[in-house]
Structure 1
Amino acid sequence: MSTPAEALATQIRNIETKTGQTLTQIRAAVAGSGKVKHGEVRTWLMETFGLGYGDANTLAHAAAGAMDGPAPSANDALDEIYSGKKAHLRAVHEAVMAVLAPFGEFEVSPKKGYVALRRKKQFAMLGPKTAERAELGINLKTDIASDRILAQKPGGMCQFAVALTGPGDVDAEVAAALRQAFDAAG
């Protein structure tokens, strides 16, 4: 399994190939776009270069220079994600990690407000949705027959999502869906 830095370098190389632009050229284009906020930059990159959400999101971070310095440690990032009124949701995070641990190796990639869970590709994302609940997004092309694990609108980062208010919500149904997504991610 590659390191996060190696995975990022590969993703940037692939984006450069897709767009025909170097990262330096893309940064210059973003600077000239007049877009400043992360979401605006991401949307502009999707529209301008025909990129998917994940590639555009990575480029939005790279364009802002956010990838130039040392990355925060996973624990630092989790402390920030699960802070203040959301601190109690860290127990939900730990319950999901406990379910995943026996499945095998995977990468936990902290983002600004959530963590991406990856093997060869992202299979889930987890983070606070509100101060009262976390959301587990699941990437899975096959259907999940569940009243709790809900299909999401096409074009989003995950095909399914489930609200989790406490560690007890990470039950056999959630574990089975995670296992499917984990296996499908390679």
Structure 2
Amino acid sequence: MDKAEQTMLANLHKNTGKTLEQWVEVVKKQGFNKHGEILKFLKEEHSFTHGYANMVALKSREADAGSVENKDELIEKQYKGKEHFKPVYDKLLSEVLQFGKDIEVVPKNAYVSLRRKKQFAILQPATKSRFEVGINLKGQEPKGKLEAINASNAMYSHKINLTDVNDIDKEVIDWLKTAYENAG
């Protein structure tokens, strides 16, 4: 468990009076089947912020990297039926890992989080025809391939949509590098 997650766990207990394990039990008793249902419940019924609701939802569904022994299985699962996007993921990851030795690659159920001191990007085969690069660049005006996200609870502020490995160019890498540098 990384330092950021330890801090979140401590603050969750401090702010709510319940541990992560207790919140997981609360969620499991509700019988939710979908991640979004859990997020909505925790935000609306218990005034959780998106980050805390997401952490509890991932843990209750055992869908985060910390809940599985083989993290490669999460990545394999992401690309099932979307195998044509695996080269996109591999190329992006290869480029990003050249930014520095302090990058943490954290597979989740549906995407891979890229973190430094905080998350700066996600890599996600969003649909069978679209690969999404989520980038945290709050305050950045959208331009070029960079599109703004208009959701207050999104896990990133901007996105770049790709359709194949040939869409990865200097612009895409430069936006990722800027987000990486801002996360330090």
- Bigger CA drift: 131-140 or 33-42? 33-42
Select which of 91, 96, 113 maps to 1:100: 96
Q: TM-score, normalised by structure 1?
A: 0.85
SS in 2 for 1:127: strand
Can you list the C-alpha shifts for 1:139-161, whole angstroms capped at 9, x where unaligned? 11131442321001131111101
Give the structure 2 partner of residue 166 of structure 1: 164
Deviation digits for residues 16-47 of structure 1 (CA, Å, limit 9, x no counterpart) = 22323222432343245454432211211122
2:105–2:112 Cα contact (<8 Å) kept = yes
Hey, what does 2:155 align to over in structure 1? 157
SS of aligned partner of 1:48: helix
Partner of 2:97: helix, strand, or coil? helix
Kept in 2, the 8 Å contact 1:16–1:22? The answer is yes
User: Which residue, out of 120, 134, 143, partners 1:146?
Assistant: 143
| Change in 2 beyond 3 A, CA 1:77/1:64 | closer
Answering whether residue 87 of structure 2 is matched by residue 91 of structure 1, we say: yes
Superposed CA deviations along residues 143-185 of structure 1, whole A, max 9, x for unmatched, are 1442321001131111101111112212111111111111111
Question: Shift in Å at residue 66 of structure 1?
Answer: 5.6
Unaligned segments of structure 1, at least 5 residues: none
In the alignment, which residue of structure 1 is the partner of 2:68?
A: 71
- Which range moved further: 29-38 or 117-126? 29-38
- Closer, same or farther in 2 for the Cα pair 1:133/1:183, shift >3 Å? same
Gaps of 5+ in 2: none
For residues 76 and 31 of structure 1, what CA distance do their matches in structure 2 show?
Answer: 24
Instruction: Give the number of aligned pairs.
Output: 181
8 Å CA contact retained: 2:131, 2:162: yes
Query: CA 1:131/1:50 → structure 2, altered by over 3 Å: closer, same or farther?
Result: same
1:12 aligns with 2:16: no
Q: Does residue 38 of the first structure (1) align with residue 35 of the second (2)? A: yes
Give the aligned CA root-mean-square deviation in angstroms. 2.2
TM-score by length of 2: 0.86
Report the residue type matching 1:38 in the other structure.
H
8 A contact 2:121–2:134 mirrored in 1:
yes
* 1:48 CA displacement: 2.9
Preserved contact between residue 63 and residue 108 of structure 2 (Cα < 8 Å): no
Q: Does 1:23 align with 2:20?
A: yes
CA shift for structure 1 position 57:
1.3
1:60 aligns with 2:64: no
Partner of 2:179: 181
Retained in 2: the 8 A contact 1:144–1:177?
Answer: no
* More deviation, 22-31/104-113: 22-31
- The equivalent of 1:115 in structure 2 is 112
